[in-house]
Amino acid sequence: MSPEESNISKLERAEDQPGRTDARAESAQEPPTRLYRRRWLIVLLFSSYSLCNAYQWIQYGIISNILMKFYGVHAFAVDWMSMVYMLTYIPLVFPVTWLLDRKGLRVVALVAAGVNCAGAWVKVASAVPHLFWVTALGQVACSVAQVFILGMPSHLAAVWFGPEEVSTACSIGVFGNQLGIAIGFLVPPILVPNIDDMDKLAYHFSIMFYITAGVATFIFILVVIVFQDKPPVPPSQAQVALRNVPLQDYSYLASIKRLLCNKNFVLLIITYGLNVGCFYAVSTLLNRMIIDHFPGEEVNAGRIGLTLVVSGMVGSLISGIWLDKTKTYKQTTLAIYLLSFVGMVIYSFTLNLGLLWVVFISSAALGIFMTGYLPIGFEFAVELTYPESEGTSSGLLNCSAQVFGIIFTICQGKIIDSYSTMAGNIFLSFIKPDLRRQKANLPSEAKSETKQSTLQTEGTSFSKQTKM
């Protein structure tokens, strides 16, 4: 008996037995899926160049007072060295997500790692007091690379990982970005001390720039050699269904329109942007807030930033594992928002106590909830919008975060300059209650709608295969 006849006879026996459902028959006809061990190498490599790029985002902000002295610029100019990452993202997110949908992960990864490497080498030439515009140019290049990075974690996780590990994989992708921010808080104050000798200061800046450029070059070479677009066999039935959709039937503009007409997703865009925008503002202005209360503590300011982000990395990993096991996206989101609000209030009021160890503890509490939400937002978006592209939904989330990040950073910076650090932090704290109320408006039917969309897509794919 041939294998095909054997399979048919098994299906007939399963259908003839009383009390049996047709689940086994459907399972036998499902297209094959497979998980490749190299998926862990792919996500690790993505995390590496994401780390390098995120490090360059924050490396100026944490030594803002030293940068102002060396280049002779105002604090607002230094703030823009971080905000340019947010500004560049807004107009470029749509062409980049289109490129991701059309050309796949490898092309986007090559551009991201290559442009990031180029920006790092431009900065090497800027270790001279009158060349602030050169270092700004290098930062702009790195900000362009960031557009090719932020929307990839959920897309990479969906393309390479199975349904029981996509949230964990997405968390690992976000983990690399957060680790880069952590290193960006810790290393620059060590490599560039607060000294008055401009020649020595230029030497220290040069060392920092050369190290960054060397690491970025090494990672770019690895991406060229190792990074792959997608596995030969899809890891899940959802990916099988998406691969069966003809490319000519896909319209990027139509996808954007469907996403923006999805009420649940629009609410998520707003609330995600508010939450992550607060994190961007706190990260950008952290040095100024700490130095205002603890003069001469640049190194400890970096360590506090490290604590903020490392605790967030722990929160990201825990969140990813929790979502893979429970799938409680809405409930987890509500809990995270509430705890982020509490953490921001505690952080705001503990700065005035004058006790560094208390600031370390409050920063850890704030980080574990505020930055721990990043992978939750990505995965919740995918659940609400499937079968739309993960890159497109993530891009819109990040675009919202950049818009609110710019607004919060400018507003909080002006408040800090005009009034006090406390006033600036209270400004951010009072944003949180609105987040919770908006998120509470998400209807409980979100999941059922997503499941129905998934079943319809898979059913269409299955009927096509049956006809073939």
Among 102-111, 299-308, 435-444, name the one with the lowest average pLDDT.
435-444
Query: Which residue segment(s) compose the domain that 330 sits in?
Result: 39-232+252-441
User: Are the C-beta atoms of residues 360 and 334 closer than 8 Å to each other?
Assistant: no
Residue 285 within a domain: yes
Residue 59 within a domain: yes
Instruction: Give the phi and the psi of residue 256 in degrees, each rounded to 5.
Output: -60, -45
> Mean pLDDT, to the nearest integer, of 91-114?
87
Highest mean pLDDT among 3-7, 29-33, 452-456: 29-33
Q: How many CB atoms are closer than 10 A to CB 390?
A: 29
Q: What three-state secondary structure class fits 381? A: helix
Residue 452 within a domain: no
pTM > 0.85: yes or no: no
Residue 160 within a domain: yes
Residue 464 within a domain: no
What is d(CA 295, CA 298) in angstroms, rounded to the nearest whole number?
Answer: 8
User: Are the C-beta atoms of residues 194 and 299 closer than 8 Å to each other?
Assistant: no
The CATH number of residue 156's host domain is: 1.20.1250.20
Domain count within the chain: 1
pLDDT confidence bin for 189, thresholds 50/70/90:
confident
User: Are the C-beta atoms of residues 145 and 53 closer than 8 Å to each other?
Assistant: yes
Residue 8 within a domain: no
User: Could you tell me the end-to-end alpha-carbon distance of the chain, in angstroms, rounded to an integer?
Assistant: 23
Greater pLDDT, 20 or 63:
63
Residue 220 within a domain: yes
Residue 461 within a domain: no
Q: How many CB atoms are closer than 10 A to CB 54?
A: 25
Q: How do residues 319-342 score in pLDDT, each as one tens digit?
A: 767 767 777 767 777 777 777 777
Q: How do residues 276-297 score in pLDDT, each as one tens digit?
A: 777 777 777 666 677 666 777 6
With residue 24 as reference, give the H or E element that holds it.
helix 23-29
Going by C-alpha positions, the residue among 157, 154, 148, 158 that lies closest to residue 94 is: 148
What is d(CA 48, CA 179) in angstroms, rounded to the nearest whole number?
Answer: 9
What is d(CA 359, CA 275) in angstroms, rounded to the nearest whole number?
Answer: 21
What is d(CA 37, CA 288) in angstroms, rounded to the nearest whole number?
Answer: 45
Please give the share of the chain, as a percent, with pLDDT higher than 70: 73
Residue type, 169: A
What is d(CA 431, CA 436) in angstroms, rounded to the nearest whole number?
Answer: 10
What is d(CA 372, CA 391) in angstroms, rounded to the nearest whole number?
Answer: 20
Q: How many CB atoms are closer than 10 A to CB 28?
A: 12
pLDDT at 404 over 60: yes
